[in-house]
Structure 1
Amino acid sequence: MNSKLTYNKIFRKAVIACLILLFLFATLCTCKKDDTQNSKLEKINLNIKKSDGTVVPVKTELAKTREEQAKGFMHRKNIPSGTGMLFIYTKDTKLAFWMKNTPTPLSIAFIDSTGKIREIFDMTPFSTASIKSTYSVRYALEVPKGWFAENDITCGDILDISKLK
């Protein structure tokens, strides 16, 4: 009789341990979600027109306020290809960006008030070095590092800003 009770206790403990492991596994699997889904920023689909006429879509989050712009992609670990964040300013100005608290490597395009890409730079995770625009610009578009190069997007290409007005 004692061996049956011992067996039942062991069985219950094993079932409980399996349930705990299953719960932990399910929790960990949901943690690697696309971080952009959690963003409360307004989202909009924009297009970049290349010099050869080809159009490249980019799903963007819009950073319009100082608070949104200060936070940017900080603490985001997963930024899918084809997505980005567009920083919108009310007037043309020289901009400076850094990567403090940003674990994901990014590329940034500085864009003038007509939508023309003036400069593109790669940025290093967690760096506090400033990446500065040479020109006065109205917008900055951050995307995963290398996305501009992978899509052959270069200076002179045009971001269609008509949806922003």
Structure 2
Amino acid sequence: MKNFSSQTSDSRQYGWRAMALAAATLLGLLGTAPAMAGDQGQPQMNLRRTDLTAGMYRIDTQLAVTERQREIGLMFRKEMPQQEGMLFVFEVPGVQCFWMRNTILPLTAAFVADDGTIVNLADMQPMTDDSHCSAKPVRYVLEMNQGWFAKRGIKAGTKLGGAPFGRQ
């Protein structure tokens, strides 16, 4: 840290003014950006959607494709219809880890390979920072209400269908 005590009061005052001006400019620039869901504790409800299938079951799926959309995920949602989920789409396969900070709903994450095969499932408790990771590198993670997969007998090895996986 730089010690400002050896400077004159005029140079200190100038330095603080310059920093204040820079901060104001930055805040002004940030303030012109549209507010996104999640910034104020609001759920994101208007993401692009696609239909996925798991055997005979249809899943109405919101797509979280940008970094910001993935960061917010299902945070702040108070309810979600049983046939609805969120598919997190990453640019390249990797070991994906999820937590439940600011997420009110109990969820199950299905870590999904490029061909639509569920690699592993993880039940996640609300409002925790516990980490839940894919067993191997994946590009997709599908979050559903906790129990949805189990009630339908869907487990690791099940193939999902839909546009992201090249199968309808």
User: Do they superpose with TM above 0.5?
Assistant: yes
**How far apart are residue 163 of structure 1 and its match?**
5.2
Unaligned segments of structure 2, at least 5 residues? 1-41
Q: Sequence identity, in percent?
A: 34
Number of residue pairs the alignment of both structures matches:
125
1:45 to 51, 66, 77: 51
Change in Cα spacing, 1:161 to 1:138, as seen in structure 2 (3 Å) is farther
Match of 1:87 in 2: 88
Contact 2:107 2:124 in 1 (8 A): yes
Match of 1:121 in 2: 122
Unaligned segments of structure 1, at least 5 residues? 1-34, 50-54
Change in Cα spacing, 1:121 to 1:163, as seen in structure 2 (3 Å) is closer
Change in Cα spacing, 1:63 to 1:164, as seen in structure 2 (3 Å) is farther
Q: What is the TM-score with the length of structure 1 in the denominator?
A: 0.71
Q: What is the TM-score with the length of structure 2 in the denominator?
A: 0.70
CA distance in 1 between partners of 2:88 and 2:143 (Å): 8
CA distance in 2 between partners of 1:80 and 1:48 (Å): 16
Contact 2:51 2:162 in 1 (8 A): no
CA distance in 2 between partners of 1:101 and 1:162 (Å): 30
CA distance in 2 between partners of 1:134 and 1:152 (Å): 20
**How far apart are residue 161 of structure 1 and its match?**
3.6
Match of 2:157 in 1: 156
Match of 2:131 in 1: 130
**How far apart are residue 151 of structure 1 and its match?**
1.1
Letter in 1 for 2:111: F
Match of 1:19 in 2: none
- Whichever of the two has the greater Rg, that structure is 1
CA distance in 2 between partners of 1:83 and 1:64 (Å): 17
Counting helix residues as a fraction of each chain, which structure ranks higher?
A: 1
Contact 2:116 2:165 in 1 (8 A): no
Match of 2:78 in 1: 77
Match of 2:29 in 1: none
Calculate the aligned-residue CA RMSD, in Å: 1.8
Runs of 4+ in 1 over 6 A off after TM superposition: none
Match of 1:15 in 2: none
